[in-house]
Structure 1
Amino acid sequence: MKIHIVIPITSDAFNDQILLEARSYVGPEIEIEVSNLSHGPASIESFYDEALAGPAILSEVRRAADSGADSVFITCFGDPAVPAARELVDIPVVGGFEPAVATALTLGARFSVLTVLENVVPMISDLATRMGIRERMVSVEVVDTPVLELHDGEALGKSLAQASHRALDQGADVLVLGCTGMLGVAAALQSQLETDRVRVPVVDPTGASLGLLLTLQSMGLRPSRRTYMPPPDKERIGA
């Protein structure tokens, strides 16, 4: 099985870390390849960024499918261009949000998302509404750290701990990391919270997404063509 990971930024700065993180969730028999965007934003932190990144993401998804990928992970919690990608190719495509939230809902009644900036809170709220689980999302807590500055693990850990306590005080049963750039921190945060308060699952969107792709592959499942219909055949300039 080959999983293609589209890292929807124009830099390859996260590639090695993301490959390492992905390898911690899948076995050596799984082939993993990654690609970045040829054009678009440096990171996705707004609806505007998402719109700019969309065409390049779709190009990478199409290229991955044409080169024999069995599934695609668009590694962004905002699920950018995911519905369009499912129309475009006939293999499973996921982002970070749907798999992470679906996992969270098997682990507790209500969840909170820990994310990067206030700018992305409306994006996450929209995704929760579209998925029909808005009433089970207690809150979206912000660590006030841009995506491209998440490399400081110690500072991120402290900010996530503070955000987690705010979420727990509001009644969250499960915590979801709301950015796929929060690499390698889920287990440590979960352990710290268990020491401080109570056992609360912390869902890593990368692990949830890759796990779902493996499950879909093993069950022979692909997106429904009643929802994700192939785009009508017509001229599209620049597509």
Structure 2
Amino acid sequence: MRIRVVNPNTTASMTAAIGRAAAAVVGTGTVVEAVQPTMGPASIESHYEEALAVPGLLEQVAVGERDGVDAIVVACFGDPGIDAARELASGPVIGIAEGAYRTAALLGRRFGVVTTLRRTTGRARELAERYGCSSLLTEVRACEVPVLRLDDPTSGARDLVVAECRQVIANGADAVVLGCAGMADFCAAVSDEIGAPVVDGVSAATLLAESLVRLGLTTGKHGEYAAPPPKPFTGMLAPFALPDTRVTMGAGA
């Protein structure tokens, strides 16, 4: 089995960390391919950056389809481009926010989220509602560390994440979701330090994707997630036009 884990930003060190987190949890015989776009922002911390990350993400989904991967994981906590990726991919597509939320829902009555910047907390709440988890969400806390400083030992990011996670548990949650793919390396250490379950979305989404493939299940293709209709694209998006794969029956058929 091959799972393509797409980091929608273009920072290679984060892609490598995401790949390590995903590879650490899969079963024997499952290969993790951690990749990043050839274009797009270095990190995703705004609606603007998220929108501009989607073409590069879809580029990598298309490459995965061409290469015959079995599943796609979108490794950004905003789950950018998920619906479009599901239209393109023949296998299951899981975003790390959805993977983390659905996993945390199994660990207790309620859970909280610790993310990077305060400006991203609205999307975390919005996705909880989309995935049917808003009634389980106690709070979304921000440690106010930019994504690209999460792996900087001088930033104090890990200590800030631990402090916010500890507060989530103190405020009544049973588990904590880490709201950024760049926090994947922290997960086990943070859980040990606060003495409560901490969910990394990269690991959770990768295992969910692997499970769906083993069950022989994928996205339903008879409605909203059918392949997009072929049509011309212009300008710099011209390469994203899809071929017409519909079968035309002959008059004598």
Q: How many residues align?
A: 234
Most deviating of 184-193 and 147-156: 147-156
CA distance in 2, matches of 1:125, 1:230: 29
**Map of 1:100 onto structure 2:** 100
Matching residue's letter, 1:215: S
Q: What amino acid maps onto 1:181 in structure 2?
A: G
Q: 2:227 aligns with which of 227, 230, 233?
A: 230
- Equivalent position SS for 2:3: strand
1:56 corresponds to: 56
Q: CA deviation at 1:27?
A: 3.5
The alpha-carbon deviation at position 28 of structure 1 amounts to: 4.6
Once the two structures are superposed, residues 40-78 of structure 1 have per-residue CA deviations (whole angstroms, 9 ceiling, x without a partner) of 111111111110111111111011111111111111111
Question: Which ranges of structure 1 fall in alignment gaps of 5 or more residues?
Answer: 195-199
- Deviations for 1:91-143, whole angstroms, at most 9, x for unmatched residues? 11111100110000011111101100012111111111222221211111111
Q: Distance in 1 between matches of 2:153 and 2:216?
A: 38
The alignment's TM-score, normalised by the length of structure 1, stands at 0.92
> What CA distance in whole angstroms lies between the structure 2 residues aligned with 1:210 and 1:67?
19
Structure 2: segments with no counterpart, 5+ residues: 241-253
Of 201-210 and 183-192, the range deviating more from structure 2: 183-192
1:216 equivalenced with 2:212 (yes/no): yes
Is the deviation greater in 132-141 or in 21-30? 21-30
Asked if structure 2 preserves the Cα contact closer than 8 Å seen for 1:141 and 1:163, the reply is: yes
Question: In 2, are the aligned partners of 1:174 and 1:202 still within 8 Å (CA)?
Answer: yes
Q: Does 2:23 align with 1:23?
A: yes
| 2:177 pairs with 1:181 | no
- How many percent identity over aligned positions? 36
Residue aligning to 1:86: 86
CA distance in 2, matches of 1:88, 1:27: 26
Letter in 2 for 1:119: R
Give TM-score scaled by structure 2 length. Answer: 0.87
For the Cα contact (< 8 Å) 1:46–1:123, is it kept in 2? no
Read off the aligned partner of 1:55 and give its amino acid letter.
Answer: P
CA RMSD of aligned residues (A): 1.6
Inter-partner Cα distance in structure 2 for 1:28 and 1:164: 32
* 2:120 matches 1:120: yes
Residue in structure 2 matched with residue 75 of structure 1 by the alignment: 75
> After superposition, what is the alpha-carbon deviation per residue over 1:149-207, rounded to whole angstroms, capped at 9, x for unaligned?
1113582221112112321232211100111111322121111112xxxxx21111111
Distance in 2 of aligned mates of 1:153 and 1:110? 31
2:4 match:
4
